Structure 1
């Protein structure tokens, strides 16, 4: 049995990296009551770090009296800045083997059956698509004996639905699985990585006030306060332009108290942006993020840079949080939100892409890594290194529907022969992702003034 030391209580060694060679890497055992036979069993807790999924608590219960067992996984890390929604078209039985990390705050839906598992009704799990279906069937079957006695008609309808769920595992027809998680801590495997998965759509979204309250990020009393918030005035913006503002936050890696600095910066030949930088004294983690300081442009922007020389790696680059990144030569595409907004160099962006796909991918780490997949992703990392070293010509495409991304023109003010910039009209789906379809701007000030007057009266 593992014993939690005073050093662990202070949080220094509470969460350990997964390491098969670490002899001290043992679970903590706690005697606890079995919910099946009400005698005592043993719960094992393992506090560890998984790349992408941050700190997690893996718990396993086993009862020697009735042989009942149960396992679950809970996120112990920070809630992400945005929620995430995975929409998977399940077309073959191979799709049922995709690994899934489902947080307890996630909603699971199968639109074809009008089936939904609400958030916080199941514990978090590390499973597969088939495992999620089996878990749903087990949950519905659990009360069937009682339903047969109390209401046979309802029990029969649920029995028919259970058979429909089981039939999904045969994949005779294509069906859709949607996992929407406001905490941003759920994941669905892309077996084609680093290439784009044609069957999987990943989108990120801003949480609603109600979702923030569900996650404990704000009190219920704060739900009505947003209507009274004031917009920044011109004087506030002038103050931000003239100084670096600092505010307290938590480190995204170790969750220790840290400080984030924020400043408005004018990018030459482009626009104003807000740069935020966080430095943690506890673990040494450093990160920066960029937000657009201006409005969403009327047209989307697609910037294509032809990388022909190692000197291109020093070009300044702004990738907004709404920007997609593609490298056609590698058949690679990275959706918006996968990498946060950054003001960096081309080399910095390519290194971030490599770390995201190769170093921090939870599905190729430790025992979860399949040899062919690991080999494929490591080969992708080698190709990225060749582009950075100038040994391979490539095109880097920044496709930003909001028009807030930028690549430095080293020939400015003359045109850059290696950069192609295209302006395009956004599709309905792109406007939906940006939240523009439901945004009302015409007559807003007049309506706001009328509302304020009526409230005062």
Structure 2
């Protein structure tokens, strides 16, 4: 039997009887067994499964090891490694085992120093990597998914180009010479003799480029989320999004009804249910609150979506936190909102933590957990000074929650769908400043408004003649 135990063929999960029997034998109370377990050096049960496989180099049998694990704040992945004892050939790759994200993601990194080559990079097989200065591109599905560094990604490209060079030199010496010149340029690229741009575009939204200055803002890294095109959706093997049918005809009935639909738990993948309700926030607007509870593993999560349209103007709310009573203010953070704390030189980007309806204290706790559990700042590869900075940042957040440190908290939402409770409503709050501003072209591009046409249509949606 493999290291993952007996699997239910219908659901790909351990059979309940065998899972509970093994748990009882070890003295551990019976409970759900998760296939995807967080990476931990102390977990002795997290062993890879070994499968005898054919070596593609010498055509003898080798061993493939499969490990189902979960990267915190990223997703479930399958790590596979093949080794041949006969010819010593080896190969490793990762595959995403989680769902495809709702939006694609594009990372644009300005590489200025050689330290940038050490940034961790998660590149899925459907991602495209580019260096515009060299007119160099690694197309989608030309490489397997990999967890490496920027330097390692370039090394893989160099190894791929050098692989067939002996054959090219015999068949076409001119082509081989040009490829040798290009390989030389790639090797000089690793030395960062001059700045260049690295772009990682993934329509599945499952790739990642490390921010080594976390929790501070990375001035050299720009993260953009976008809607997939029909061609990208077809490339990923998914259907294009279709307009959803109206759930209820009456808006009043929707406000009074809790809708429920079936889904899967993001932690253990067991069947679960999500509750959704439309709620009116006083002095603001309607929002949709969704909550998911899993009876199998006890995981609970909630998310907030704006129930209205994108506002004509962006909103920037700045609150001066002076005492502990300010931490009890209700707060709505949409998925398009950025959070800034100038005194700590901290900025939380758009899309991080998703949409939340909580209190200011709850938001600070979520930020602290996000920073402290960042997997790219833990383990043997982490730097001591970076770990100390993160620890100091966590202590400052705790001082804010204890009322010992006064700071300013800014919610900057270009969509205008975020909210912070005004304790003096409907009068102005002396500790809170609300600004309305015109969005920039780049902000409209991120929200998908530049290509959106709403004029020139009939009432039924057909174009005007």
Pick one of 257, 274, 278 that aligns with 1:243. 257
Q: Would you say 1:138 and 2:159 are equivalent positions?
A: yes
* Matching residue of 1:309: 323
Distance 1:209 1:263 in 2: 31
Q: Is the 8 A contact 2:262 2:274 kept in 1?
A: yes
Deviation string 1:351-394 (CA, Å, 9 cap, x unpaired) is: 111111112x1212333333222221122111111111111101
Aligned to 2:426: 413
Tell me what 1:336 maps to: 350
Supply the distance in 2 between the matched residues of 1:336 and 1:4 (Cα, whole angstroms).
Answer: 37
* TM-superposed deviation, 1:450: 4.5
Given the alignment of the two structures, is residue 283 of structure 1 paired with residue 297 of structure 2, yes or no? yes
Matched, 1:110 2:131: yes
1:409, CA displacement in angstroms?
0.3
Task: Check conservation: 1:98, 1:188, Cα contact below 8 A.
Answer: yes
Aligned to 1:367, the other structure's residue is in SS state coil
User: Displacement of 1:142 after TM fit?
Assistant: 1.9
Structure 1 residue 7: deviation in Å? 6.5
- 1:5 is matched with 5
Change (3 A) 1:172 1:236: farther
Alpha-carbon separation, structure 2, partners of 1:213 and 1:286: 33
TM-score, reference length from structure 2: 0.90
Aligned to 1:352: 366
Partner of 1:398: 411
Cα contact 2:368–2:394 (8 A) shared by 1: yes
Q: Are residue 41 (structure 1) and residue 62 (structure 2) matched? A: yes
Q: Which residue matches 2:224?
A: 203
Per-residue deviation, 1:170:
1.5
Q: Cα offset for 1:89?
A: 0.5
Residue equivalent to 1:212: 233
Length-normalised TM-score, structure 1: 0.91
Q: Is the CA contact (8 Å cut-off) linking 2:36 and 2:268 kept in structure 1?
A: no
CA deviation map 1:118-151 (0-9, x unaligned): 2222111111110011111112222223333444
Deviation per residue, 1:394-421 (Å, 9 max, x gap): 1110001111111000111111111101
Match of 1:269?
283
Instruction: Please state how far the C-alpha of 1:305 moved relative to its aligned partner.
Output: 0.8
**Structure 2 residue matching 1:321: 3-state secondary structure:** coil
CA contact (8 A) 1:78 1:255 kept: no
Could you say what the CA RMSD is over the residues aligned between the two structures, in angstroms? 2.2
- Alignment of 1:55 with 2:76, yes or no, is yes
CA distance in 1, matches of 2:211, 2:131: 19
Residue 178 of structure 2: SS of its match in structure 1?
helix
Pair 22,449 (structure 1): closer, same or farther in 2 beyond 3 Å: closer
Aligned to 2:109: 88
- Mapping of 1:378-397 within 5 angstroms? 378-397=391-410
Q: Tell me how many residue pairs correspond in the alignment.
A: 444
Paired residues of 2:34 and 2:268 also in contact (CA < 8 A)? no
Contact 2:274/2:293 (<8 A) preserved: yes
Matched, 1:369 2:382: yes
| Aligned-pair CA distance for 1:14 | 2.3
The equivalent of 1:427 in structure 2 is 440
Of 197-206 and 368-377, deviating more is 368-377
The alignment status of 1:185 with 2:185, answered yes or no, reads no
Q: Distance between the aligned counterparts of 1:159 and 1:358, measured in 2?
A: 45
Q: Displacement, 1:319?
A: 0.7
Give a deviation string over 1:303-344, Cα, whole Å, max 9, x none: 001111111111111111111110111100011011201111
8 Å CA contact 1:54–1:253 kept in 2: the answer is: no
State the Cα deviation string for residues 136-176 of structure 1 (Å, max 9, x = none): 11122222233334443333333322222111112111111
Between the aligned partners of 1:4 and 1:318, the Cα distance in structure 2 is 41
Secondary structure at the aligned position of 1:363 is classed as helix
Moved over 6 A (4+): none
Deviates more, 1:142-151 or 1:53-62: 142-151
Q: Structure 2 vs 1, CA of residues 230 and 128 (structure 1 numbering), >3 Å: closer, same or farther?
A: closer
Contact between 1:89 and 1:175, CA under 8 Å: does it hold in 2? yes
